[in-house]
Amino acid sequence: MSAEGGTKAVVAALMANLGIAVTKFVAFFLTGVSSMLAEAIHSVADSGNQVLLLLGGKKSRKDATPEHPFGYGRERYIYSFIVSIVLFSVGGLFALYEAYHKYHEIHAAHPADSILDSRWWWVPPLVLGVAIVLEGMSFRTAILEAGKIKGSATFPQFIRRAKQPELPVILLEDFAALIGLGLALVAVVLALVTENLYFDVVGTALIGLLLVCVAVILGLETKSLLLGESASDPAQRRIADALAGTAGVERIIHMKTLHLGPEELLVAAKIGVAGGATSEQVADAIDQAERAVRAAEPTAQVIYLEPDIYRSDYVPAERPEPPAPAAH
């Protein structure tokens, strides 16, 4: 459900951004408004990002190999991280450069193709208004799809905690796009009303700063997923309850979980068994525990259980220090 919803939101955003990018470029070439160019590049970056998300989803479904025995689930995280880099560089830094370039043009009293002297002055407000409607439709699709899986969490909590990267990425991109479109519309209208092109420069710079901030947030969230996050607290409780409720398992000595991908979880646990249990009884308890865990948490696809006899004075062995380098 979550993967299908994420794909639906990505495709909706891709279709909207492709159409919006074309109209913004036309508006820029007709009027020379720098905020329109910044927004056009923003839409191109977003379109490329959506292609990257779809590509990452496809590659993540490859079968495991001897070289990658846990599969390719994290491909989705890698491509999401690339999205943050594209948004930062192609979107944010380009907009900031365009604002700097436009400022010097105006300051030198040689603004190229000024909207104030163009008979196409009405095009940017019209294009931005249409873009806001289309981007809003894309944002609505992302909100509806996220609402199916986020539960009682707020949207900021969902973005921070979600293991599926597509929906958080689209939510952040669409939110930034709507704010950016609003800034561009205000900047263009003020430039037309006041005949002061510096408003266009300010709008372009604000769009750049917005994209840089969103890219940084997205990069930090994706970095955490790339490093490897544990299962959510509810998922860990379901797994622990399933293990503890298995006949032959006296207690959980310790347990660790790790997301190999958005829908694939590794579970490693040391479980306490009875001191007099036979090897057949221990093996049967492990088999039952694995079935119970998969039934309670379907994403737990890789499970390693180590049986042991619990001792209250048990102290985990310390990791040995690496040997000192030999003196030369």
DSSP state of 248: T
Nearest to 188 by CA among 177, 203, 176, 178: 203
Domain annotation for the chain: domains and CATH numbers: 2-227 (1.20.1510.10), 233-308 (3.30.70.1350)
Predicted pLDDT at 313: 56
The confidence score (pLDDT) of residue 130 equals 86
Write the CB contacts of 284 (distance below 8 Å, at least 6 apart in sequence): 248
User: For residue 45, is pLDDT > 80?
Assistant: yes
Q: Is 253 helix (H, G, I), strand (E, B) or coil?
A: strand
Q: Please say whether the beta carbons of 141 and 12 come within 8 A.
A: yes
Which residue would you say has higher pLDDT here, 306 or 38? 306
pLDDT at residue 117 is higher than 80: no
Own/partner pairs, 18-24, CB within 8 angstroms, 24+ separation: 18/43, 18/47, 19/134, 20/130, 20/131, 20/134, 20/135, 21/47, 23/127, 23/130, 23/131, 24/127, 24/131
What are the tens digits of pLDDT across the range 14-42? 888 888 888 888 888 887 777 778 788 87
Cα separation, 197 vs 191, in Å, equals: 5
In tens, the pLDDT along 49-106 reads 888 888 888 888 888 888 888 888 888 899 889 988 888 888 888 889 888 888 887 7
What pLDDT is attached to residue 5? 54
Going by C-alpha positions, the residue among 138, 163, 202 that lies closest to residue 2 is 163
* Average confidence (pLDDT) over 160-185: 86
Cα distances (Å, whole numbers) of residue 328 to 140, 323, 325: 66, 15, 9
Contact (Cβ atoms closer than 8 angstroms) between residue 203 and residue 197? no
> Quick one: pLDDT at residue 114?
56
CA 210 – CA 205 distance, rounded (Å): 9
Alpha-carbon Rg for the chain in angstroms: 27
Confidence bin at 328 (pLDDT 50/70/90): very low
